[in-house]
């Protein structure tokens, strides 16, 4: 049985936390759910409270002191858990109201204990698109680091992932980063098959030498997009992909970038770096990652 090119059933699932990205994640998810005529769920995952403090009691403490300390820590953990749940409920309700007001979409909300990755993988069978923030509440914003969960999520899930930028703005023009590989050819096919980007202005970018081979690849992608109803403006630009793509995004006022997700070779990524990671760090717009 062949795996479908895109999943036309299922909901949009947005993972939100207490970071400044939460409103943008919710709005990008509302936009996507509206375009796909799909259901929408906002998920807040509460990490399990570490038990390190209760396991690392000093052997110099008396038995009575240890018991009293354990009891106090237990009460503290319980209060912390209740506060986290209440904060999560308030966050989810506020975001649900925001999405209804801005996109006319009614979202379901859910809160669960565990890691974000576990939560998304457990839900994947009923999801057609994940939406996550570029950075989470624990990211180092000053250094421009990506959120610690982002790469793990994108590498682990098998559905498209929309990585939200810091702020949402209307999406009118998108760019497909294309290199002629089987992965990016599949990206083009997925764009053609989905209603998500229908009717939007389309740019098609290939980074490399302007030779016959690259022109042939680009002509194929341009023809496929035209067959699907797009009017792509196509170009080949020489240079390094992780430099050229952000430059072209800025020059042509692109609102959304479409590109292939991470490959599966962690060793290669550690040795030579990742174009995907660098583009995510550099571009100030949402990125739709396809595999």
**In this predicted structure, which of 9-18, 148-157, 212-221 has the lowest mean pLDDT?**
148-157
Find out whether 130 and 160 touch, Cβ atoms under 8 Å: yes
Angstrom distance (rounded) from CA 60 to CA 55: 14
Angstrom distance (rounded) from CA 240 to CA 147: 24
Pairing of strands 161-164, 287-290: antiparallel
First vs last Cα of the chain: how many Å apart? Answer: 19
Closest CA to 169 of 252, 258, 253, 97: 253
Kind and range of the H or E element at 216? helix 212-227
Percent of the chain with pLDDT over 70: 84
Closest CA to 33 of 13, 16, 15, 17: 13
C-alpha pair distances (Å), 117 with each of 47, 52, 212, 232, 270: 11, 22, 43, 35, 21
Q: Is the pLDDT of residue 34 over 60?
A: yes
Computed on alpha carbons and rounded to an integer, the radius of gyration of the chain in Å comes to 22
pLDDT digits (tens, 9 = 90+) for 45-91: 987 643 444 445 555 556 667 777 777 777 777 777 788 788 889 99
Most confident of the ranges 110-124, 141-155, 254-268: 110-124
The three-class DSSP label of residue 174 is strand
Angstrom distance (rounded) from CA 118 to CA 6: 23
pLDDT digits (tens, 9 = 90+) for 190-204: 999 999 999 999 999
pTM: 0.85
Domains with residue ranges and CATH for the chain: 11-49+84-164 (3.40.50.620), 173-257+271-276 (3.40.50.620)
In the structure encoding, which two tokens stand for residue 75, read together?
């009460």
C-alpha pair distances (Å), 120 with each of 48, 129, 261: 16, 11, 17
């Amino acid at each position: 049985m062949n795996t479908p090119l895109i999943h036309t059933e299922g909901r949009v699932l947005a993972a939100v936390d207490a970071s400044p990205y939460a409103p943008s994640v919710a709005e990008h998810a509302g936009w996507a759910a509206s375009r796909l005529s799909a259901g929408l769920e906002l998920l807040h995952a509460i990490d399990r409270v570490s038990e390190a403090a209760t396991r690392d009691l000093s052997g110099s403490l008396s038995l009575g002191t240890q018991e009293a300390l354990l009891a106090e820590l237990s009460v503290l953990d319980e209060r912390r858990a209740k506060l986290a749940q209440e904060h999560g409920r308030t966050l989810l309700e506020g975001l649900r109201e925001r999405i209804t007001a801005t996109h006319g979409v009614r979202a379901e909300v859910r809160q669960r204990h565990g890691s974000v990755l576990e939560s998304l993988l457990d839900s994947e069978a009923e999801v057609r698109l994940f939406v996550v923030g570029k950075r989470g509440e624990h990211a180092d914003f000053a250094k421009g680091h990506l959120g610690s969960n982002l790469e793990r999520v994108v590498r682990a899930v098998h559905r498209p992932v929309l990585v939200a930028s810091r702020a949402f703005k209307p999406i009118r023009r998108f760019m497909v980063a294309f290199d002629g590989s089987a992965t990016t050819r599949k990206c083009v096919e997925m764009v053609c098959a989905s209603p998500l980007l229908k009717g939007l202005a389309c740019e098609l970018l290939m980074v490399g030498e302007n030779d016959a081979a690259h022109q042939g690849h680009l002509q194929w992608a341009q023809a496929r997009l035209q067959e699907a109803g797009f009017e792509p403006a196509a170009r080949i630009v020489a240079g390094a992909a992780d430099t050229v793509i952000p430059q072209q995004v800025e020059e042509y006022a692109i609102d959304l970038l479409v590109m292939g997700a991470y490959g599966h070779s962690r060793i290669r990524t550690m040795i030579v770096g990742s174009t995907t990671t660098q583009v995510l760090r550099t571009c100030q717009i949402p990125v739709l990652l396809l595999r």
